[in-house]
Homo-oligomer: A and B are copies of this chain.
Amino acid sequence: MIDRCLGVQRSRKVRRALRNCKVTILCLVLTVVVLRSIIGAGKFGTPEQDLTEIRNRFYLHSRKRGAESHRVLKDDRQTTSASSNTSNTTNSNFQKANNNYNEFDTSNISVDEEEDENPDWHKPYSVGPKISDWDERRSKWLKENPKFLNFVGEEKPRVLLVTGSSPRACENPVGDHYLLKSVKNKIDYCRIHGIEIFYNMAFLDAEMAGFWAKLPLLRNLMLSHPEVELFWWMDSDAMFTDMAFEVPWDRYKDYNLVMHGWNEMVYDQKKWTGLNTGSFMLRNCRWSLDILDSWAPMGPEGIIRDRAGKILTKELKDRPAFEADDQSAMVYLLATQRDKWGDKVYLESEYYLHGYWGILVDRYEEMIEKYHPGLGDHRWPLVTHFVGCKPCAKFGEFPVERCLRQMDRAFNFGDNQILKIYGFTHNSLVSKRVKRVRNETSNLLAVKDQLGLLQSPFKKAIKKIG
């Protein structure tokens, strides 16, 4: 009938349009159904119970995981409303935040106080039971086990480098290759400097995933390895670029936490990049257990971390909006409780315990031309840290090509210092190939290893076991 009314061609067009409409309507219906099942209540006019149901499921799910008791931080409505004022009141907000709780971890956030029927959920998150006498217990253990020395040689503490990555393969197929190169890089530096490595690939606490995973890990390692004096956490996207630089351990003998950073940027400006937690040292002592406990409460994944992130964005300078990260939380902790923690925290800026890749990688050729390994600073950085690159994830904050190319260059820059020991070097800073730079000689023992890395003088390890 349509044919007769409209003509053959026009009728074809009309039929096609009707078919398209049917498909469109079907898709719309499916979308609504799916959305309804995900988001549920409220916005689509379904009962409010759904919101409560989801929240309950969240808590029950967390319990079922069998992890530590999960706590929701108590709401302090005064802090919340105060923080919505202008930046002129920032200092008073910090004061209020400081005064409103005994410990850093008893404040700030709740999911929905009126919904809560279980008062336990308002206790702050903790990485583990408090151990007030850890220093005494550890001392006693060390005396009873003299074979395990926490100091090796005269001045060098026993150090354990702690790093790791997800147990899952990277979303970006090439990501695992860069993790592999990164761990090889760490193996080389640590072999030369007499440092042991712990590579973690387990989430010990399901809530503390991502950048927060290092907290429960460090606590666990601390308590399990009393013979280790210093734990050196290093991110998987950080690489050693000065194989000859020895950390000035003696400088830190009166401190328990060493991070790259600047006092004024943390305590005065409250800048979220005032320090970096991608490469830091933590002493094995009670003070460290306490700071881990104070640091952790913004970490639990989900609503707590999201809301904590909003507070951190408001309180810290230049911080973009995203969930709470361990670095911002540390800045906040130190800035608000300087009296409690500050005297045992060393913010190091004389060498690159963490070196931001953006200001270093284009200067490698200049460094090679003018300087030499062993300096550790802007002239020859100890660590080049690829913050924001995220080679394991699908998306990072920088173009992936630049990141990967520069990671290759940084790797080769460090690797050349190792290869040189054996008479080789990479063909170029981007090349995987190597070439011989020292004539083959049968008298290798007479060959001078310029950096003195061959039989490393840094290995002051004395580990006696009868």
Contact = CB atoms under 8 A, between A and B. Distances in A.
A202 interface: yes
A176 to B, nearest CB: 4
A61 to B, nearest CB: 14
A454 B225 contact: yes
Interface string A415-449: 10001011110000000111110001110110000
Given A66-B436, A180-B165, A224-B422, A463 B465 contact: no
Given A184-B199, A184-B201, A464 B465 contact: no
Interface string A286-305: 00000000000000000000
B180 A191 contact: no
B169 A174 contact: yes
A73 to B, nearest CB: 21
A457 B465 contact: yes
Interface stretch (A90-98, A129-137, A370-378, A380-388): A129-137
A1 B341 CA distance: 97
A170 interface: yes
Contacts of A441: 129
Given A196-B191, A203-B433, A432-B167, A421 B224 contact: yes
A151 interface: no
Interface in A200-255: 201-204, 220-221, 223-227
A177 interface: yes
A47 interface: no
Contacts of A432: 167-168
A173 B173 CA distance: 5
Nearest to A227: B455
A396 interface: no
A348 interface: no
A153 interface: yes
A20 interface: no
Contacts of A71: none
A463 B459 contact: yes
A203 B434 contact: yes
Interface in A449-465: 454-455, 457, 459-465
A198 interface: yes
A334 interface: no
Contact of A224 (B128, B130, B148, B444): B444
Given A170-B177, A180-B176, A194 B440 contact: no
A111 interface: no
Contacts of A457: 465
Interface of A: 66-68, 128-131, 137-138, 141, 145, 148, 153, 165, 167-170, 173-174, 176-177, 179-181, 183-184, 187-188, 191, 194, 196-199, 201-204, 220-221, 223-227, 415, 419, 421-424, 432-436, 440-442, 444-445, 454-455, 457, 459-465
Which 10 A-B pairs give the minimum distances between C-beta atoms?
A173-B173, A176-B176, A167-B432, A169-B177, A223-B444, A176-B177, A184-B199, A202-B434, A129-B442, A131-B442
23 contacts: A66-B435, A128-B440, A128-B442, A130-B442, A131-B442, A137-B445, A141-B445, A167-B432, A176-B180, A183-B183, A184-B199, A187-B197, A202-B415, A202-B424, A203-B434, A204-B434, A220-B423, A224-B422, A224-B444, A226-B445, A459-B463, A460-B465, A463-B463
Given A129-B442, A176-B176, 13 more contacts: A67-B436, A145-B455, A168-B432, A181-B201, A183-B183, A191-B196, A202-B419, A221-B422, A223-B444, A224-B444, A225-B454, A227-B455, A461-B461
